[in-house]
Structure 1
Amino acid sequence: MSKLKVASIIFLISTMILKFSSMIRDLVIAALFADSYKADVYFAAMTIPNAMILFLLTGMKDAFLPSYYKFEAIGKGESHLTNILKSTFIITTIFAILGILLSSPLMKIIYPTFSEFEYGTHIAVWTSIIYFASLIFVGVNAVYEGYFDAQKKFSFSVFSQTIVVLITILFAVLFHEKWGILSVPMGYFIGTFLSLLIKVVYRTPKRFMNWSQQINRAEVKEFYGIFWPVGLTIAVGQINLMVNTFFGARLGEEGIVSNLNYAFRLVNIPQAVFGVTIATIVFPIIAKARSESNMIDFRKGIEKGILYLLIFLTPALAGMCVLMQELVSLVYERGAFTSSSTQITASYAILYIGSTFFYSIQAIVAKGFYTMQKGHYIMRIGLISVLLNVVLNWTLSGKFGAEGIALSASLVAVFYSVITFTTLWKLVGGLNKTYLLKNSFQVIAATVTMIFGVLFADKFIEIADLPPFLHILIIAVPGAILYFLVLMLFKNEFVKTIISKGGNKPSS
């Protein structure tokens, strides 16, 4: 087995651990604060600084990897790393200070209704302040996670992110009685610091960066000219979530913002596990092909990324649709989170399914733009999607309430994914239509067969009264087996690769 395959498997396992810990964080928040106004205020207030955090975390990695390869090829990889580390620390510190100073007026202007709740504005302001303060550490963490990805040390990058989540959980559990929901952002702040400290120890302070090296301003300017449209594009999803949160808060009902957030986080797990994992693994492959001007391997990398994504994501989301009530109950229904909260959250989650599917495809497609250093294309499309989201939220939330907000997210994702895919298609001179259509048909046929089997079992096997975990297990395991059996009947490329014992990989 090749080193890349081993690294990919380890990375997938590491990512699943990260997302499992992220799920625990969400269910801890749900158990402690459920859909109370405190949870509403927290989720609303953290969206603005969190957009900047994602701008750095994901955008930095996507911009840094091809940039690092470029300088590593001429023997200046470490020098480039130092330039970007130092400049990013300075920039993020400035933005952190500005965010801290503006948190109070921003929260009061954007969410004036929070003042109607006891300590509502206080929670919002301090949540924003603490997350903005975290930017000081987040920026340097993001550069190093991009560096580790470039070295194909995917699992270490994921491990450092997992530390942040685990510390956040620990603080929520230990200090929620003393600090309330502010224990969550405090945990995140400490977690980002410890994550950075681990990287310093791992590299040793001496090798962490060249402390005496002067910043090459021309090099930094060139990098940030590429980075900011990439980062802004990555932040589009969070900006759209911020728009959804704003319109949710305008509806004026306690619990809407938090239930929408719980629904989104749950449905987003398959995207985070499969979409992000596959996109991250594909990225260095297509970046290397691009650096060698090998457009055949570049296109094959995109095609295989989309195929492998569809293989895992399609049945996962279809199964979630069928078992959504049981999933929400299993994940969230404990402590302060009641059965009525489960029903509401499940109804929102089903409407979010489209956003997860199409944004996952877009995550693969986006890597093609970033590798070609044409992030400005996708940035323009992303900004248009934000405007579309505002219009749809205004229209659909007024007509359907909170359900309209979740539906808007899915409709915007369809637009975003279709436009970016067709644009990349033109830029690279087309992809292998036969390959994509054949494999897409196989996945759809296998998924439809699985769903009919699951619905049949759910109807005729007396499992309705079983606990959610057993209900899901009895339905999901046979469903997954049936799905892969159908793919085997089609002699699907992915399944053939998995079950083969050596030999050449099937070609596209």
Structure 2
Amino acid sequence: MSNLKKTAIWITLLALILKLSGFLRESIIAREFGANDYTDGYLIAFSFITLVVAMISIGFNNVFLPLYVKHKEDSPAETERNANGIMNSTVALFLIITIAGFFLVPYFVPFLFGDMNPETEKVAVDITKIFFLFMSAIALNGILESYLQGRRIFVPSQISKLLATLMGAVFALLFSDTWGIYSLAYGFVFGTILGIIVQFFFLTRNGFKWMPTFKVDETFKKAFIVLIIPSLLNSVVGQINMFVNKIFASGTVGGAVTYLNNASLLISIPNAIYATTIAAIIFTLLSEQVNDQRKFQNTFFMGMEISLLTLMPIAAGLWVVGEEALSFIYERGKFTAGDTANTYTALVLYLPLIVTQGLQFIVSKSLYAQGKTGIVFRISVTTIVVNLILNFLLVDRYGYPALAVASSVVSVYYLVVSSVVVYKGFEGQEARKLWRLFSRAIPPTVLMVLPIYFLKKVDLVSNLYSLFQLAILVPIGVIIYTVALRFFYKEGFYRLLNMVKKKKAV
């Protein structure tokens, strides 16, 4: 468990750096290009990249990695040949997608996104064609991550992701005057190719040898094919919902896709970092304790408790200081105060996602640990239908903010339905413990929010630069919440404190 925690800490730190580099890129985009039809076009094109990355990094990885590790123990040489065959076949498939997609882009992008502004449509089509040219390279970059994980090598994959993100920012800084918004796409592609080189270097150092073969053992191939289809479908549900939101947003006002994107990036930070740590600790414990009902229930509650006690105050805090955070990150160059205000509108409506997605992570992982992957898939698919209906009913009347509302409602729906399934298998008092947890987490959060809300209104604070406001308000909020939690929920406070101490002790 000690090595697992060390790995979790390193991955958490790398995830934080990756997120910060993402904000550096978005800050540069805001300065160089603002929020307009051109940035909307770029973000629409980038949706195809996030879809492919999700398919490979989640869907492919969830199937390939266990098979690779399992078969490698019994027949390492044959498994390496099978792994090469799978990799080569997948890259070849994406080469076909590359060729077909490149010529079909001018037709399916306008079809999918409907009533776009002419400038948005042109940028979206042009950049999507650039991405499709290198789709096989993007897929290979994700596949190599699975191979590295199978050999317990984690850092090169994170470096690869950083390179793709940072090169987009660097190219925007250096070449925006020459290539405009297209510099972001060129930078991303360049960084991806560098990432492939880095990952291949570390793989070969670890003994990996590439083989020019498409041959895969029948047993390995059948197991892979049977599992890959539901895994791929499950991996892209969230991306499909985001895709749908961008389709609806592209038909509202110029910059709407950018406002939603920038707000969701800030919302995603807590869960991106938190989920990475939980994946290595809570999920492992749940998997180990699946046959011990009492321990499983206690670990599940511990995960829900940690999620709620850490994420609820973050969500409430962003309601108070979110506009200042957005202003510090984005408001410069062509990204105006009006753009910040529009992004903050979306941010406020996205805030429930911080809590619901954190809790959902624990709920879904408990179902995965119990082998109930089919149930997770069926529930997640229904979220696409709910999201579509809400977008259709609300967007014409309320514009792009309605899309943020729909996302939050869908997230609550997903959490409630999944939780009902989990608690059906638990003892009756477990559900009552969850309700008591909510009732005891709310008072410290409210006591934290009220003082910093009124302090923010004081001229001495409100007239300061956004970063200085954050430097004053955030520490005050943390101190108030810590003291209030100690007073209102002593047991939870000490359990959370012990969790932090254990991480530091590793």
Question: Could you tell me how far apart the structure 2 residues matched to 1:152 and 1:442 are?
Answer: 41
Return 226-235 or 10-19, whichever deviates more.
226-235
Task: Quote the residue 1:354 is aligned against.
Answer: 352
Structure 1: runs of 5+ lacking an equivalent = none
Task: Tell me, yes or no, if the aligned pair for 1:71 and 1:80 is still in contact at 8 Å.
Answer: no
- Within a 5 Å distance, the mapping from 1:400-419 to structure 2 comes to 400-419=398-417
**Which residue matches 1:55?**
55
Unaligned runs of 5+ in 2: none
**Alpha carbons of 1:440 and 1:71: their partners in 2 closer, same or farther (altered >3 Å)?**
farther
Q: Which amino acid aligns with 1:47?
A: S
Indicate if the aligned counterparts of 2:311 and 2:354 stay in contact, CA closer than 8 A. no
- The CA deviation at 1:99 is 2.5
5 Å matches for 1:247-396? Answer: 247-251=248-252, 253-279=253-279, 281-287=281-287, 302-396=300-394
2:114–2:247 Cα contact (<8 Å) kept: no
What is the SS of the residue equivalent to 1:334? coil
Q: Which residue of 1 aligns with 2:230?
A: 229
Range 422-431 or range 242-251, more displaced = 422-431
Q: Describe the shift of the 1:443–1:407 C-alpha distance in structure 2 as closer, same or farther (beyond 3 A).
A: same
1:239 corresponds to: 240
Map 1:433-472 → 2, pairs under 5 A: 433=431, 436=434, 439-459=437-457, 462-472=460-470
Q: CA deviation at 1:336?
A: 0.3
Name the SS for the 2:35 alignment partner. Answer: coil
Task: Name the stretch that deviates more: 359-368 or 79-88.
Answer: 79-88
Offset at 1:264?
A: 1.8
* C-alpha distance in structure 2 between counterparts of 1:28 and 1:343, whole Å: 18
Name the SS for the 1:268 alignment partner: helix
Amino acid at match of 2:137: F
Per the alignment, residue 127 of structure 2 pairs with: 127
Distance in 1, matches of 2:277 and 2:36, equals 33
d(CA) in 2 for partners of 1:102 and 1:281? Answer: 44
Name the counterpart of 2:480: 482
The equivalent of 1:102 in structure 2 is 104
Q: Is the 8 A contact 2:34 2:335 kept in 1?
A: yes
Greater displacement, 300-309 / 181-190: 300-309
Offset of residue 399 of structure 1: 2.0
Partner of 2:157: 157
Structure 2 counterpart of 1:199, one-letter code: Q
- Which of residues 86, 89, 94 in structure 1 aligns to 2:88? 86
Between 397-406 and 47-56, report the one with greater CA deviation. 47-56
Q: Distance in 1 between matches of 2:222 and 2:236?
A: 21
Task: Please give the secondary structure, in 1, of the residue aligned with 2:106.
Answer: helix
Deviations 1:365-395 (A, max 9, x none): 3334445554332222222111111110111
Q: Which residue of 2 aligns with 1:137?
A: 137
Distance 2:51 2:153 in 1: 26
Task: Output the amino acid matched with 2:250.
Answer: A
- Percent identity between the aligned chains? 27
Cα separation, 1, equivalents of 2:199 and 2:92: 19
- In structure 2, what is the equivalent of residue 177 of structure 1? 177
Q: In the aligned structure 1, how far is the partner of 2:417 from the partner of 2:186? A: 39
Q: Which amino acid aligns with 1:353?
A: L
Structure-1 separation of matches of 2:286 and 2:74: 19
Q: Would you say the 8 A contact 1:87–1:220 is kept in 2?
A: no
Instruction: Give yes or no for contact 1:247–1:397 (8 Å, CA) kept in 2.
Output: yes
Change (3 A) 1:217 1:29: farther
Structure 2: distance between partners of 1:501 and 1:182 = 43
The CA distance in 1 between the partners of 2:223 and 2:210, in whole Å, is 20
Structure 1 counterpart SS, 2:180: helix
Query: How far off its partner does 1:61 sit?
Result: 3.0
Structure 2: distance between partners of 1:136 and 1:431: 51
TM-aligned CA deviation for residue 430 of structure 1: 8.8
Q: Equivalent residue for 1:36?
A: 36
Q: Distance in 2 between matches of 1:208 and 1:7?
A: 22
Letter in 1 for 2:191: G
Q: Is the 8 A contact 1:50 1:131 kept in 2?
A: no
Is the contact made by 2:8 and 2:280 (CA closer than 8 Å) also made in structure 1?
A: no
In structure 2, C-alpha distance between the alignment counterparts of 1:275 and 1:190, rounded to whole Å: 29
Q: Is the 8 A contact 2:37 2:117 kept in 1?
A: no
Deviation at 1:330, TM superposition (A): 0.9
Shift in CA distance, 306/425, structure 1 to aligned 2, threshold 3 Å: same
- What amino acid is the match of 1:388? V
For 2:463 and 2:211, locate their aligned partners in 1 and report how far apart those are by CA, in whole Å: 63
* One-letter identity of the residue aligned with 1:53: V
How far off its partner does 1:496 sit? 2.7
1:325-352 deviations in Å (ceiling 9; x for gaps):
1111111100100011111110111101
Deviation per residue, 1:138-192 (Å, 9 max, x gap): 3333333335456665444333212221112112222222221111122222222
**1:390 is matched by which residue type in structure 2?**
L
State the superposition RMSD in angstroms. 3.2
Aligned partner of 2:418 in structure 1 is: 420
What is the CA-CA distance between 1:221 and the residue it aligns to?
Answer: 3.4
| Aligned equivalents of 1:86, 1:285: Cα separation in 2 | 35
**Partners of 2:461 and 2:504 in 1: CA distance:** 42
Distance in 1 of aligned mates of 2:247 and 2:437: 40
Partner of 2:46: 46
When residues 276 and 133 of structure 1 are mapped into structure 2, their CA distance, relative to the original with a 3 A threshold, is farther
TM-score normalized by structure 1?
0.87
Q: Is the 8 A contact 1:268 1:356 kept in 2?
A: yes
Between the two proteins, the alignment pairs up a number of residues equal to 499
Hey, what's the Cα distance between the residues in 2 that align with 1:136 and 1:430?
Answer: 50
SS at match of 1:35: coil
Shift of 1:21: 0.5
Instruction: Kindly indicate whether the alpha-carbon contact (under 8 Å) linking 2:307 and 2:355 is maintained by their aligned counterparts in 1.
Output: no
Shift of 1:57: 1.9
**Cα separation, partners in 2 of 1:265 and 1:164, compared to 1, 3 Å:** same
Q: Is contact 1:58-1:142 (8 Å) kept?
A: no
